[in-house]
Amino acid sequence: MSAIKELNTQLEPLVTGNPTFASVTQRISELTEGKQPNKGWWVCFLAALGLLFMMKTLILYLIWEGTGIWGLNNPVGWGWAIVNFVWWVGIGHAGTLISAILFLFRQKWRTSINRFAEAMTIFAVMCALVFPGIHIGRVWVAYWMFPLPNQMQMWPNFRSPLLWDVFAVGTYFTVSCLFWFVGLIPDLATLRDRSTGKIRRFIYGFFAFGWRGGNRQWQHYEKAYLILAGISTPLVLSVHTVVSFDFAVSIVPGWHTTIFPPYFVAGAVFSGFAMVMTLGIIARKIYHLEDFITLRHLETMNKVMLLTGMLVGYAYGCEFFVAAYSGNIYETAIFINRAFGPYAWAYWTMIFCNVVVPQAFWWKKARRCIPWMFVASILINIGMWFERFVITVTSLAQDYLPSSWDYFRPTIFDIGIFVGSFGLFFTFFLLFLRFLPAIAISEVKGVLPQANPHHGGEH
Amino acid sequence: MAGLLTVGFIWYYGSPEYTDVGYQPVQPVPFSHKMHVGDLGMDCRYCHNFVDQSHEANVPPTQTCMNCHQLVLPESEQLAPIRQSWQSGKPMEWIRVHKIPDYAYFDHSVHLAAGVGCASCHDRVDQMEVVTLKKSLSMGWCLDCHRDPTPHLRDLTATSVTDMEWQPGENQLAFAKEIMEKKNINPRTDCSACHR
Amino acid sequence: MSSVNKEPESHNPYWRSVNELEGTPEFQRYVEREFPYLDEETATGSVNRRQFLQLMSASMALGGLTACRRPVNHIVPYVRPPEDVIPGVPLYYATTMPFGEEAFGLVVESHEGRPTKIEGNPDHPATLGKSSMQVQASILGLYDPNRSPRTLRGGQPAEWKDFAEALTSLTSGLGETGGDGLAVLSEATSSPTVARLKRAIEQKYPKLRWVAYEALGSENAHEGTALATGTSLRPLPHFDKADTILALDADFLMTEENAIRNSYDFANRRDPDMPANKSTMNRLYVAEPAYTVTGGMADHRLRLKASRIAAVAVAVAKALGVNGVTDLEAPAGELDPVWIENAVEDLRRAGSHGLVVAGRRQPAAVHALVAAINHRLGSIGTAVTYVEPLDTIRSDMKALRDLTADMADKKISTLFILGGNPVYNAPADLDFGKALGEVGFTAHLSELYDATSERCLWHISRTNFLESWGDARALDGTLSLVQPLIAPLHADSHSDLTILNLIATGEEATAHDLVRESWAERFDGAVGFETNWKRLLHDGVLKNSSYRPAQVTISADGIRQAVTTLDLTTNEEAIEVVFGPSTALHDGRFANNGWLQEVPDPITKITWDNAAIVSPTTARKLGAMRKLNKLGELKFDMIDISIGGASLALALYIQPGHADNCISLALGYGRPEAEAVLSVGHGVGFNTYLLRTTDAAHIVPSVEVRKSIGTYELAITQDHHSMEGRPLVREAELTAFKENGKLYPEAHYHEPHQLWEPPVDYSKGYQWGMTIDLNRCTGCSACTIACQSENNIPVIGKTQVGKGREMHWIRVDRYYKGPIEDPQGVVMQPVPCQHCENAPCEQVCPVTATTHDHEGLNTMVYNRCIGTRYCSNNCPYKVRRFNFFNYTKDIPETVQMAMNPDVTVRFRGVMEKCTYCTQRINQARITSKVDGREIRAGDVQTACQQACPVNAISFGNINNEKERVTALKRNPRNYQILQEINTRPRTSYLGRMRNSNEHLAPDDSAANGHEGH
């Protein structure tokens, strides 16, 4: 414990501008109060809402007309819908990872970012959940996936990874929500106490569950938080592991690989952090949170990305080695085709974004250069989308019988619904920024120098 | 709340609660099975004469009705539609009571051959003034019998499939086992048994 | 008898929308009546939740919202039951499909008087119970929604009786002139009744002009035999008696005459498991320009411009010492002497069991040479017989030319066109359409209101062969009866016979009476007419009515003269054009048949189109190479072809193995009719007839070609041409295989260790399995269409196929061997669902919509499927088909009548695939149980197996020793594709054997199946 304290004191402070408890509360809370929302917020929000509406319309048309409006064909039965699903779920990883695992490891630097990281997680998972729902041929009987008693005396097939998926992602979503909400309670109380309007007061009050900040409450709160952190930690690993089973359990060359679970988790963390980075930098800029989200935070995240990026890169290499080493002609062929076949363009985009770009973070300069890390984070997100595309589509396009090989072309509906999902994401995210403290007030206070019992160092 | 409602709705739809037992449409002619079968004791196969040769129990052509009703009640008001059909050549439009979905293929002949009586599925038609759906005809209901047909198998040497009074004897179980062995009756529960 | 009752046994009325229903008061009463016990509650208004829900569900029910018995469903029984119809039990009738000079004996399945499925008639020599794509698909022709419903005069609705009057008055007028200016233009036919009526008409009008025209007629063969023997004869090859075959541009296995029978005989003689005493597997030499399925079966194939085939014929004749040729000097130009030498050597060795055949598009002289060669080999009478056809009206393009000329200068006043579509398919130089305008009285009898009908004064709706009486002779002369399965869908349709009789006698008679009349004299025996007639109706064919072989003597002078007519000079660089039939649409008569439009060409795999087919080399020469082997390619280059005045721009398709400097064009596409009268075939492909002239109707030695601007979309079902060295189609040299039993490419399979007992014991009960003999399969695709017909598989259209969503349950994969520039061969592999015992699809379906049954079937339950497509992804054979849209939504009501009532029609969003015809298995099981017995060997035949003309597909209970399939599963050639991934398929394949001549044997790389691209 003390060692970490030492470390923390030696390292540059987690919060700069030497704020007081009061100023912290003020700075963060005011974002949800007063003049807000400003024009900029409205512009973004309406844009997001527009996209959301577009997605809704496209989905209605999809359900009306059938999945044929997408570019799917016979060998390629899963296209963008599944790619987007995996991508969004991946992004949904950072939040819980940061809040839960880093919490358990007492990584205090998480405090300024965990709140919106978690929010992001939840919204990302919501986006993710849309896709498996709509990609099936007969949406109206999707409930057959759930074990409900029925006159057919039929049960779902518990051997199917898709079913595991439903449960895994469902659980993850629920727990993340709880975790996030529990974390919010003290801050909601703060907002309640600060709020002037009746309605505001009532709403915050309702969700603050009558928080008074008493000792016992804090005690219980910390316990609950710790337990939830304990529960979510394995989930962080399990979700994407199970998602990866959708592929790994099948026999499609390029899918059927034991390396998938760790590989997917690493990828998920990778993309998750990239997204946190992107959003963090924007929020930081707009809301002048430089004092809370300091360069130190960003740099640490860059380090994580460098690590996970290399893990992913290693996985790519590993796949090729295994393919070559196995001597399995189908396996070998699929990887040769990935790198040099009709989808080479997608493959090399992926390699560039996910493996080459992060290498820059070996240099401190790059790690601390905000414009660069902003660009990098976006490139990484693109790269990670392509990773899922490469895995899903290219493997299907050229499997066992060359006679069935075909090429996948997306339609405007593939693209539209994907773009629309950002609408869903940002609508919620902007609402979050508007009405909830984007940074965990109480936790940040916890890492202020003043919070250190030895503050001032008299004794 | 909405979630609960949907779940409840699905649950209700999915459950045997939701079947059409009791369906009792009004037919163009108030044909009384009670009178024809119950009182007059006609055999089912007088009208449904191909039931043991075809997958469907054919509903009789107008001609079959006229066989008798040219002489019996030739003037009856209720029988007017039959006579019309006979003269005009325009077929009767009876309303179907026992209906299973198009994607499920049921075959009467093979069930009769196995010794499953009409009453097992259609209940006591001989007591019905108006034909009513008494069994759910749901997939689960089919499976119940396919998993254990013993209570429904008859000794065709002793009785006939059309016998409405038939009740399983006390040695039914033993008999059923034996006849299943003898006739190699092994009702399939594979999907392919009913779905093509 | 033809049981004719179009009253559907039961039908769903269209129900109204829910809200509409709920509004009306009678709806309320309805609910009450429907659920009597609800009455009082509803009355007293005390409706608790459950009853409310019931009421709700009832309203749903009546609105027809959910799955089960929602819309009120009526049962509509017969009024007077037709004899021997048991509702729900299909009946089978024997009939015949006339096809030009050919006739296919059929057995047609009928449900309550509604024909649904066509099979070959086992007693008929042309089918032997087998069939072809066209035969299978002809059922769709009957229900074609575009069929003309009525008589038209100048395009306006008219009355048949008016036509009858007009006709009689007219012909009576012609009486005194002896029928001067009266002409009949018919299709080629072999109907005795037509022949009889023709004679009658000729008696009445001695000056009658009767011309028959087929775009793909057999003139050349007949003229050829005339040149060689003095009499016009029809060659009838017997491939079951041929050890060595040399096919000169003759696709005798698919597009030539008698293909079904040829395939049947050929395959039986090609069986490597044949007992040695029955002599060995045959050897096939093929010289041809474009790859055909026959070329694919060849042991040695010589790719050669069509115009050079004649030279080969001469060379062979010379080498064999045919009188009249020996003294001529060898033909000029490169000809691969080694190939010819060895072919000749083999032929000589085979002697009377050697057979040479030539294609219908080769000039008469080649056919003459072929006759002479066969004579020289002594195979006439064994491997080939020549017969003199009776009752046959043969196509004659020259006669058509003369007729058209006379029409143009007004020498023809009255023209009856019986069937056919000459305005579309007559050679362009005739300008038949224009000439038609010069004729006073023109009447066209046809099923569709086609291009010819438009230009005729009268159009008479023609009855389909499934609707009318008639008769026909098979190529070998066997007589058979055309028996209607259903009353004409359109009451105003009439048969050729009726009209001919009207011309002959001026009286109306039914086709039925006319046919009986012509058979009266044949049946005046002791037994009496009726007995014979009944027997004939039952069998469909008259036994022992085939022709007696003609005596053939070859005149050396005839041959010498014939050869002089040939152009043996060569100009390798000149680009030639050859016309050929479309493998699916034949001459275009099937253009409105969706099944045939969508079936991929066996070699090019093009659907819904024809294209200019060239070799890679020629393509490069024309400046278009890049398209080969590119996945998902849609845009193809266009080229301009100019012949004489005419010029046509059409898509270019590169086919490895095609002869260089040669372009082959399929006829039968680009029908000019408007969409309203040709909704399926309208605007499909390119009308190559526009380039066709009477003098160069088949081969144009030199044409002008240049790459034209723009591209064209072709929907192709297979983009990748190489097997990538994978052990999919496995072959071997017969001799080598007999020694080492090795198939190439070699597959490496290790029996995996099982961690648990297999869930099902497959050693008991019925266990269904299939073998597909790749040594027999030619790739003719009859199975594909048979399956489509049996299993209600939808037609999805060019765009969808282009997207790669074709629905065929059994597809035929085609791979090239060796360098793509000059492949050493092409192999075919039909791929239906493999019914893996260890099925990857079953494990991943989240709702158990696809599961295994205890008899080894991989069942697919459409109504359980929610459409995740995971099964399809996980299927290594990619045989699963997904309903991306509601493909069955817009099927016209008539076409719905062609549907098989025993198979569920699939809805949008569900997966489907081959079921091993589970409906047929179930039917057999039910019958066996009702009869209290087991299912016997051969009781169950899958649709593909039944259609397959080469018996490549065997199916049955592999636990039954009596089944053919059980024996074949033990055959050393038996193997499973992708066995190494341990899917344990129930469908296995029999390795393909080659019987190469050791002097021409391909190098090992080919034997080991290593391929380039």
Sequence-ordered alpha helix ranges (H) in C552-655 = 556-565, 594-598, 616-621
Contacting A residues, span 397-456, partner chain C, CB-CB under 8 Å: 397-409
DSSP string, C134-202: HHHHHHHHHT-TTB--S-EETTEE--HHHHHHHHHHHHHHHHTTTSTTEEEEE--B--HHHHHHHHHHH
Q: How far is B100 from chain A (nearest CA, A)?
A: 13
Per DSSP, the three-state class of A257 is coil
CA distance C245 to C343: 9
Average pLDDT estimate for C567-584: 89
CA distance C609 to C583: 11
Nearest to C846 among A75, A78, A156 (CB): A156
Distance of CA C287 to the CA centre of its chain: 24
pLDDT at position C81: 80
Confidence check: pLDDT of C820 > 90:
no
pLDDT digits (tens, 9 = 90+) for C499-558: 999 999 888 899 999 999 999 888 876 678 888 888 899 999 998 899 999 999 999 889
> Token digits for C765?
């009960």
CA distance C512 to C508: 12
Nearest to A148 among B10, B139, B140 (CB): B10
pLDDT at position C758: 74
Average pLDDT estimate for C170-189: 86
Average pLDDT estimate for A351-358: 93
> Token digits for C546?
């085939």
Give partners of B (≥3 CB pairs < 8 A): A, C
Q: Nearest chain B residue to A140 by CA: give it.
A: B10
pLDDT digits (tens, 9 = 90+) for C288-322: 999 999 999 999 999 999 999 999 999 999 999 88
Confidence check: pLDDT of C1006 > 50:
no
The letter for the amino acid at C639 is I
Put simply, the answer to whether A143 touches B139 (Cβ < 8 Å) is: no
Residues in chain A closer than 8 A to C977 (CB atoms): 401
Put simply, the answer to whether C34 touches B196 (Cβ < 8 Å) is: no
HSE (CB half, 13 Å, CA atoms) of A121?
Answer: 32
pLDDT at position A392: 94
Query: In this structure, how many other beta carbons lie within 10 angstroms of the beta carbon of residue C993?
Result: 25
The dihedral sign for the CA sequence C28, C33, C38, C39? positive
Q: At what angle do helices A295-326 and A370-389 cross, to 10 degrees?
A: 30
Interface test with C, best of A144, A403, A409 (most C CBs within 10 A): A403
Query: In this structure, how many other beta carbons lie within 10 angstroms of the beta carbon of residue A266?
Result: 22
HSE (CB half, 13 Å, CA atoms) of C766?
Answer: 24
Put simply, the answer to whether B15 touches A150 (Cβ < 8 Å) is: yes
Nearest to C720 among A135, A144, A405 (CB): A405
CA distance A427 to C438: 75
Query: Which of A407, A331, A402, A343 lies closest to C1013, judged by CA?
Result: A402
Nearest to B138 among A143, A148, A151 (CB): A151
The predicted model scores a pTM of 0.90
Distance of CA C591 to the CA centre of its chain: 12
Q: Which residues contact C418 (CB under 8 A, 6 or more apart)?
A: C184, C185, C186, C187, C445, C496, C499, C500
pLDDT digits (tens, 9 = 90+) for A219-256: 999 899 899 988 888 888 888 899 999 999 999 999 99
Q: Nearest chain A residue to B6 by CA: give it.
A: A143
Residue bearing the bigger pLDDT, C102 or C9: C102
Residue bearing the bigger pLDDT, C705 or C759: C705
Q: Are C252 and C357 in contact (CB under 8 A)?
A: yes
> Token digits for C70?
């929602």
Instruction: Read off the pLDDT band of C624 (50, 70, 90).
Output: confident
Q: Nearest chain C residue to A401 by CA: give it.
A: C877
CA distance A371 to A369: 6
Interface test with B, best of C5, C35, C78, C855 (most B CBs within 10 A): C78
Kindly report the length of chain B.
Answer: 196
Instruction: Read off the pLDDT band of C629 (50, 70, 90).
Output: low
> Token digits for C502?
């009207």
Q: Are C669 and C610 in contact (CB under 8 A)?
A: yes
C241-250, C935-944, C994-1003 — which is least confidently predicted?
C994-1003
Q: Nearest chain C residue to B97 by CA: give it.
A: C73
Put simply, the answer to whether A145 touches C723 (Cβ < 8 Å) is: no
> Token digits for C142?
């009957």
Interface test with C, best of A63, A336, A395, A404 (most C CBs within 10 A): A404
Confidence check: pLDDT of C882 > 80:
yes
Residues in chain A closer than 8 A to C873 (CB atoms): 77-78, 250, 252, 396
pLDDT digits (tens, 9 = 90+) for C441-452: 999 999 999 999
Instruction: Read off the pLDDT band of A14 (50, 70, 90).
Output: low
pLDDT at position A16: 67
Confidence check: pLDDT of C326 > 70:
yes
The dihedral sign for the CA sequence A5, A10, A14, A18? positive
Residues in chain B closer than 8 A to C793 (CB atoms): none
Instruction: Read off the pLDDT band of A103 (50, 70, 90).
Output: confident
CA distance C68 to C74: 14
pLDDT at position C993: 93
Residues in chain C closer than 8 A to A247 (CB atoms): none
Average pLDDT estimate for C865-891: 93
Average pLDDT estimate for C257-261: 94
Provide the β-strand partners of residue C415: C183, C442
Put simply, the answer to whether C61 touches B20 (Cβ < 8 Å) is: yes
Percent of chain C with pLDDT strictly greater than 90: 68
Query: Which of A169, A341, A314 lies closest to A253, judged by CA?
Result: A341
Residues of chain B with pLDDT under 50: 16
Put simply, the answer to whether A407 touches C844 (Cβ < 8 Å) is: no
Residues in chain A closer than 8 A to C883 (CB atoms): 66, 137
Q: How far lies C499's CA from each of C123, C160, C178, C212, C463, in Å?
A: 31, 11, 19, 16, 12
Put simply, the answer to whether A162 touches C843 (Cβ < 8 Å) is: no
pLDDT at position A40: 80
Contacting A residues, span 218-277, partner chain B, CB-CB under 8 Å: none
Q: How far is A436 from chain C (nearest CA, A)?
A: 38
Q: Nearest chain B residue to C931 by CA: give it.
A: B113
The letter for the amino acid at C681 is G
Q: Any idea what the Cα angle at residue B78 is, between residues B75 and B82, rounded to 5°?
A: 80
Provide the β-strand partners of residue C732: C993
Instruction: Read off the pLDDT band of A454 (50, 70, 90).
Output: low
Q: How far is B126 from chain C (nearest CA, A)?
A: 20
CA distance C583 to C593: 13
Q: Are C851 and C842 in contact (CB under 8 A)?
A: yes
Q: How far is A255 from chain C (nearest CA, A)?
A: 10
pLDDT digits (tens, 9 = 90+) for C55-72: 444 434 333 333 344 567
Q: How far is C358 from chain A (nearest CA, A)?
A: 32
Put simply, the answer to whether A154 touches B139 (Cβ < 8 Å) is: yes
CA distance C427 to C424: 9
Q: Is C799 on the interface with B (CB under 8 A)?
A: no
Put simply, the answer to whether A397 touches C865 (Cβ < 8 Å) is: no
Q: How far lies A107's CA from each of A1, A7, A300, C443, in Å?
A: 11, 11, 11, 94
Highest mean pLDDT among A64-68, A280-284, A445-449: A64-68
Nearest to C79 among B25, B26, B62 (CB): B62
Put simply, the answer to whether C862 touches B60 (Cβ < 8 Å) is: no
Residues C924-949 as b/e (b if ≥16 CB within 10 A, e otherwise) read bbbebbbeeeebeeebbbbbbbbbbb
Average pLDDT estimate for C904-933: 93
Nearest to C78 among B91, B100, B102 (CB): B91
Contacting A residues, span 148-177, partner chain B, CB-CB under 8 Å: 148-154
Average pLDDT estimate for C656-667: 93
Q: How far lies A390's CA from each of A149, A334, A345, B46, in Å?
A: 39, 11, 10, 68
Q: How far lies B56's CA from each of B103, B108, C80, C129, in Å?
A: 15, 6, 18, 30
In this structure, what DSSP letter does residue A39 have? Answer: H
CA distance C333 to C314: 13
Interface test with B, best of A143, A145, A151, A152 (most B CBs within 10 A): A151
